[in-house]
Structure 1
Amino acid sequence: MSAEMIHHSFFPFNSVRSMALEGEKYDKNVENDLIMKWAKENNNDLLQIVCGYEALPLPSRGSEVIFHPLEHLQAIKYNRPEISALGLCENFPEMKMQCSLETPEVNTRLAAAEQALSLSLWTVATVCRVLSLESIMAFFAGVLLEKQVVVASANLGILSATVLSLIPMIRPFEWQSLLLPILPRKMFDFLDAPVPFIVGIQQKPADMKLKTSNLIYVNLDKDQVTMCYLPPLPRYKELISELGPIHARLSCENSTAKRHPVYKCNEVQAKAAGKFLQVMGCYMESLCSDLRSHSITNVQSKNDKVALLLKDSFIDSFPCRDRPFMKLLVNTQLFSVLSDSQLS
């Protein structure tokens, strides 16, 4: 949430904004400074945190930034990774040349990879502690097929970590619709929207029912996933077999993790979460690694070449038992975006 959004919530009469806008040019930094001054004078810690974050400069790649907005809070350190640590050059060889170019497409892809890396270990360690492996796979399958996913828990830290764990877990795919780690109660009407979403709530509404096959409800406090039938994930048994020992190791860390905030992982948890994501990454790559073998090149006007995926041919390349899931997957927005990117 930006300082501008917070400003509207805390200043109904816009007195500070009018001061910032007295000149002809609007200076966002001036407004942020004025809001920060008001927050300090009125001992508003929340607003000071937001304004401090808003004013924080973006560190260069490979450098560290320290965020310490309030003296009585512990400082947060963030080490911004180098491009080589993002894994793009390995998964997308064409990125080796593109990463040096400052284009919107490249910057968007780099930002998505950096976000996934930052969220990777602590979010995956958390979801493995609160959900069984079978529940995680059901949750994961629903996200891949772009269902409406509602995650519930009384613990805000666990809730947000679980929702955010899907970002690194589905790489190289990227979620294309709304993702809200915590949906405020006053916005529960949004749950009736006819679009894919992943949202976190603290308590299930009394009148919420599985009205359609698109809705999946994940209760973190009870380790329950309620959903209509979905075809099984490709190579489901093999995936469960690979992830089982890793998940069991993380589950054993639950009592240790309860003594710390969810974003803190010890060496054992981080190592296990890294292995879990490594297996998931190889699995996800197997679902989209052979796209070019099932595409044709269509020459457009002005000799522009466009590669088109032959969906039926691609689906038929999978074993019969895996095809029902793949038929649904290839028609999702997240698959279309990735395939277009790889074939372009």
Structure 2
Amino acid sequence: MSEDQITSPLIKALTQEMPNLINSFAIFGVSPSTSPNTPTPQIQELYKYPESYKFPLKAEQFIVPRNPTIIPLTNNEIFKEQPIRYITILPGEIESVLCVCIQQNEFLNITSDLINPTGLTTQLFSVKYYTQRTYCFTTTCPYFLALFPLLHYIAERSYRNKLEYFYSVVLRLTLLSPNACLNPIKPSLEAFIHLIFRIPQKQSNPLSFTIENNKYTFARSSPPLPLTPLSQAMSMVGDYSLIRLFCTMSVEEILNILSVMLCGMGVILISENISTATSCIFGLLSLFYPFSWPGIFIPYIPDELFEFYETPVPILCSGKYPPYQCRVNAYVQELDQSYLSFFMSKISRSFISLQPNGFTLPWRSELLKKLTDCINKYVPKRPTMYDREKFIEMMPAQRVIEFSTEVMKIMNECLYRRLENSVVNFCTEMKECSLENFIQQFPQKFNTVGALFMKKFVESQHFNVWWYQLGLNTLKIKSSSTK
């Protein structure tokens, strides 16, 4: 499929070429000087590198979509919980950027060495509270398999230094002066950050990197020819997100949602788990390729922006249940649905959907069988939400990439290539066929079930764009990227 005209802010965010892999690094969260009794703690920018970088307006709402909390510490085990990983997009007036985030629990009054490299005082240990702080990279390259390990290293290293010192004082293993600090590491951390900021965005080979004498190689797939900025970007998005999508939802649910998207309708995924929800949203986006999502795209709706659910424009997003009933122009699917929420019909009480559930995909049976076989090959048993991320992290990166490559191969062979061939052959037979005539005549080729899907499909905005990109209006058929 040709990509001559790329105008969508989403596509620009995925394909804009910049000199380096990473644009900025920042830490957002509650300031250590905030009172524990503050009813609504404010999100602040606590650290930024480089200092000259300017975030889009209201970026903190998208970087930290869930309001932070300040909670009394009752158990130190809270700091052993795995950080939450998620991806979002920061919308700007001119262009948008990707934002890769890691959120971890931290003491309210103990911050990263990057924020406050000075010593801890005995006053910090009187009453203990914890909150959530978010470490993030902005980028225009969705090389998530490399970005998350690099970000995790910075987040873990910069805070563990303070945490180790805290425990040494609390456990009285070492008695230092009240203003002492254990091996301040801000200079070495900033040297590391400066080093990774020099990594070029264009990577012809998998990225290799040495951290503290340990060499790490971050795998990536090779997209099929012809190579385009969008095909390379979607390949990297799929490497990270497809395994998480298929570990979260059943194949039947995924195909149902894909049919809704191909018919030009919106999709809203509901989940309290930001990591799960955003991974699934990006997984659906990669499954939708070679088409480009034409509507609004918000990986996770911030708590203050629930009105986005009610937009009349097709929207692809995730978020938690709104505090009031919404009338939505989208198909709503709850992730990790519990028996209680199903029994209480929580979706129907929170959303009034103005759209049908979608239509049956053509060649659905074959797709269902081949994708199910692929799942059984790579994921013998779908893990629970609690074990999902741990299960995926234990998988070798190359095997994760093999899974995404095989899934996209099945989608292209069993769906997208057949759709393209059907459209091109019909236009060739008709000799002269305007888009208006095509929309009226093409669905009649199919049986009743197929005709319902095809009618919605060819009337959609993404099909309209695809039609002109292929040159079907003049029968100058261009080479397609659906290989």
Residues 140-193 of structure 1 show CA distances to partners (whole Å, capped at 9, x for unaligned) of: 112212322111222222111100001221221121222222221111111121
Q: Partner of 1:158: helix, strand, or coil?
A: helix
Asked if the contact 1:172/1:285 (under 8 Å) is kept, the reply is: no
* Stretch deviating more after TM superposition (217-226 or 280-289): 217-226
Task: Measure the CA separation in 2 of the matches of 1:48 and 1:111.
Answer: 24
The structure richer in strand per residue is: 2
1:278 maps to what in 2?
409
Pairing 1:285-296 to 2, within 5 Å after superposition: 285-295=417-427
Task: Measure the CA separation in 2 of the matches of 1:198 and 1:75.
Answer: 38
Select which of 62, 81, 86 maps to 2:204. Answer: 62
Task: Measure the CA separation in 2 of the matches of 1:17 and 1:59.
Answer: 20
1:142 maps to what in 2?
260
Residues 183-239 of structure 1 show CA distances to partners (whole Å, capped at 9, x for unaligned) of: 2111111112111111111x2113234x35x32112111188986342221222332
Amino acid at match of 1:175: W
**CA distance 1:50–1:247, change in 2 (3 Å):** closer
Asked if the contact 2:269/2:318 (under 8 Å) is kept, the reply is: yes
Identity across the alignment (%): 16
Asked if the contact 2:443/2:455 (under 8 Å) is kept, the reply is: yes
Asked if the contact 1:294/1:313 (under 8 Å) is kept, the reply is: no
Q: Partner of 1:216: helix, strand, or coil?
A: strand
**CA distance 1:229–1:178, change in 2 (3 Å):** closer
1:241 aligns with 2:369: yes
1:189 maps to what in 2?
307
Amino acid at match of 2:45: F
Select which of 228, 252, 264 maps to 2:381. Answer: 252
**CA distance 1:132–1:339, change in 2 (3 Å):** same
Task: Measure the CA separation in 1 of the matches of 2:234 and 2:433.
Answer: 28
Pairing 1:196-235 to 2, within 5 Å after superposition: 196-201=314-319, 203-209=320-326, 211=327, 214-222=329-337, 228-235=356-363
Asked if the contact 2:25/2:136 (under 8 Å) is kept, the reply is: no
1:86 maps to what in 2?
223
2:79 maps to what in 1?
none
**CA distance 1:60–1:235, change in 2 (3 Å):** closer
Task: Measure the CA separation in 2 of the matches of 1:205 and 1:289.
Answer: 42
Q: Partner of 1:234: helix, strand, or coil?
A: coil
Residues 261-302 of structure 1 show CA distances to partners (whole Å, capped at 9, x for unaligned) of: 7577436554444333221122122122233333379xxxxx
Task: Measure the CA separation in 2 of the matches of 1:116 and 1:4.
Answer: 23
Pairing 1:1-344 to 2, within 5 Å after superposition: 3=24, 10=45, 40=114, 42=116, 46=134, 49=137, 55=197, 57-65=199-207, 78=218, 85-89=222-226, 110-201=228-319, 203-209=320-326, 211=327, 214-222=329-337, 228-249=356-377, 250=379, 252=381, 254=383, 258=388, 260=390, 265-266=395-396, 270-282=401-413, 283-295=415-427, 308-309=434-435, 310-343=438-471
- TM-fit CA distance, 1:259: 5.7
Asked if the contact 1:157/1:261 (under 8 Å) is kept, the reply is: no
Amino acid at match of 2:368: I
Asked if the contact 1:170/1:284 (under 8 Å) is kept, the reply is: no
**CA distance 1:270–1:62, change in 2 (3 Å):** closer
Task: Measure the CA separation in 1 of the matches of 2:391 and 2:266.
Answer: 28
* Stretch deviating more after TM superposition (316-325 or 127-136): 316-325
Asked if the contact 2:264/2:456 (under 8 Å) is kept, the reply is: no
The structure richer in helix per residue is: 1
1:36 maps to what in 2?
none
Count, aligned residues: 285
- Aligned-pair RMSD on alpha carbons? 4.2
Task: Measure the CA separation in 2 of the matches of 1:268 and 1:253.
Answer: 16
Amino acid at match of 1:151: L
Q: TM-score, normalising length from structure 2?
A: 0.49
Asked if the contact 1:122/1:262 (under 8 Å) is kept, the reply is: no
Larger Rg: 2
Task: Measure the CA separation in 2 of the matches of 1:317 and 1:329.
Answer: 14
Amino acid at match of 2:439: K
Amino acid at match of 2:269: V
Q: TM-score, normalising length from structure 1?
A: 0.67
Q: Partner of 2:421: helix, strand, or coil?
A: coil
* Stretch deviating more after TM superposition (58-67 or 166-175): 58-67
Q: Partner of 1:200: helix, strand, or coil?
A: strand
Amino acid at match of 1:86: P
**CA distance 1:57–1:317, change in 2 (3 Å):** farther
Asked if the contact 2:295/2:315 (under 8 Å) is kept, the reply is: yes
Q: Partner of 1:217: helix, strand, or coil?
A: strand
Task: Measure the CA separation in 1 of the matches of 2:136 and 2:455.
Answer: 49
Runs of at least 5 residues in structure 2 that lack an aligned partner in the other structure: 1-12, 14-22, 29-42, 54-112, 118-132, 140-192, 477-483
Residues 69-108 of structure 1 show CA distances to partners (whole Å, capped at 9, x for unaligned) of: xx89x99865676xxx32243xxxxxxxxx7xxxxxxxxx
Runs of at least 5 residues in structure 1 that lack an aligned partner in the other structure: 19-38, 90-98, 100-109, 298-305
